[in-house]
Structure 1
Amino acid sequence: MTRWQVDAVLLDMDGTLLDTEKVYLEASIAAFNALGYSEGVTELCHAMIGIPGPDNERTLRDHFGDNFPLVEVNRLFAAKTIEILDAGMPLKPGVLTLLDAIEAAGLPKAVVTSSSRRTASEHLRLARIDHRFDAVLTRDDVSRAKPHPDLYLLAAERLRTRAPACVAIEDSNPGVAAAHAAGAITLMVPDIVPPTDETRAKCEAVLPDLDAVREMLGLRLQFVPPT
């Protein structure tokens, strides 16, 4: 198996490290339903996964019209999210052993997320993994977030390398588009929305979980993952 020449690992946050996409989906649907919106809401929420909040707000206004009660939806969404996360910030299975393996290989790693810096900082802290990254890149750091490549290009720069020398791990179609456009070696672990054929073509591999990612990195980077 061909060895990858890799300088760093770049990881998406929501749906990849943190099992929050299902939280956001539940909170979004609850907010819409509370205001009388039900038809097509689940599909619309799926289409917004992996997209920055401001872009999703434009999508909602385009879909429902200028009179859509965006402020109230955001309020209800935030309240429901807090209610759900009061039970704890859920990690995706395999996160800790994957981070251990990357560290054992001596590779720096960064979070690359469409969330705001405030949200990313708070959620990584609640998950107790905020100390495990060499950099955290958020939508606040660039003028164009995912699916544009800017965040991945900047993350590689922050880690003093170039994107083609990085492995990027993503869960969403927009995230894969961003990582691939930057030139990174892109792995996908789908969360809620399955990959499109176009997305699959942009991935080095589509894997079932982070344990499979760890195993692939162990083979491709020739390090022994911790057990």
Structure 2
Amino acid sequence: MIKGVIFDMDGLMFDTERLSFRFWKQAGEKIGYEIPEEMVEGFRGRNRASIGKEILDIYGSEFDFDLFEKYKTQAQIQYMEENGVPIKPGLLVLLEYLKEKQIKMAVATSTNQELADWMLEMAQVSAYFDTFVYGNRVERSKPNPDIFLKAAEELHLPMEECLVLEDSIAGVEAGKRAGGYIIHIPDIIVVPEEVKVGITAEMESLEEVISWIEHANQSV
């Protein structure tokens, strides 16, 4: 029985991974560093502490990570103030369905809390959710399962009654390790087949999730 759904945010709810990629690169250039594309790709699904540690391990303590993150966040907010938050197909319909069925909802995102809160409010979806868990609220970043376990705890549900929706490699790994149901919705990063072994399902978009939940809950 699915009693709770835990949403990743970037790349799952919002089509923002392409934006993040661009703005991390721009932020690096602004402070005088060329950030390799493969490094930026590796940021996906990971929290601030994990990204910061990797950057400082590579570039040393002279790298101003706080400024780097600040420039990236400012550029992303400016873009979305002008263009809106790009919402993924099927998100609003899914949120309305879950609300109608009284299925609890959580956001579990590695994005920093200030930016995540701003985006959720800007997209006018905050009110749907029962709780929000950010990367800074757990010790270990995805691919560890901590953020999803924390979300289930705050929904007051066992993980076995929760469905995790994810797009990234680290997120899919974390969802599998958490022990609930995990559906992969592809975004711009190709998740290797070996990572997808053991997931509950893969779907093209959020629009398909409703029928899966209907079937899962009717089967109980």
TM-score, reference length from structure 1: 0.87
Identity of aligned residues (%): 28
How many Å apart are 1:33 and its aligned residue?
3.5
Matching residue's letter, 1:130: S
Report the secondary structure of 1:202's partner residue. coil
Shift in alpha-carbon separation, 1:164–1:27, aligned structure 2, 3 A = same
How many Å apart are 1:92 and its aligned residue?
1.1
Q: Is the 8 A contact 2:45 2:170 kept in 1?
A: yes
2:126 equivalent to 1:130: yes
Matching residue's letter, 1:43: E
Shift in alpha-carbon separation, 1:80–1:66, aligned structure 2, 3 A = same
- The unaligned stretches of length 5 or more in structure 1 are none
| 1-structure distance, mates of 2:138, 2:70 | 26
| 2-structure distance, mates of 1:156, 1:32 | 36
**Which residue of structure 2 aligns with residue 73 of structure 1?**
68
Divergent runs of 4+, >6 A: none
2:40 equivalent to 1:45: yes
TM-score, reference length from structure 2: 0.89
**Which residue of structure 2 aligns with residue 85 of structure 1?**
80
RMSD, matched Cα: 2.0
| 1-structure distance, mates of 2:67, 2:135 | 23
Query: What pairs up with 1:15-26 in 2 under 5 angstroms?
Result: 15-26=11-22
Select between 110-119 and 85-94 the one with higher mean Cα deviation.
Answer: 110-119
**Which residue of structure 2 aligns with residue 27 of structure 1?**
23
Deviations 1:143-187 (A, max 9, x none): 223222122112112222111111110111111122211101000
Deviations 1:43-88 (A, max 9, x none): 1111110100121111112233343343443343233212211121
Deviations 1:192-211 (A, max 9, x none): 21112232113111211111
- The unaligned stretches of length 5 or more in structure 2 are none
**Which residue of structure 2 aligns with residue 57 of structure 1?**
52
Matching residue's letter, 2:80: L
Shift in alpha-carbon separation, 1:105–1:75, aligned structure 2, 3 A = closer
2:214 equivalent to 1:218: yes
**Which residue of structure 2 aligns with residue 147 of structure 1?**
143
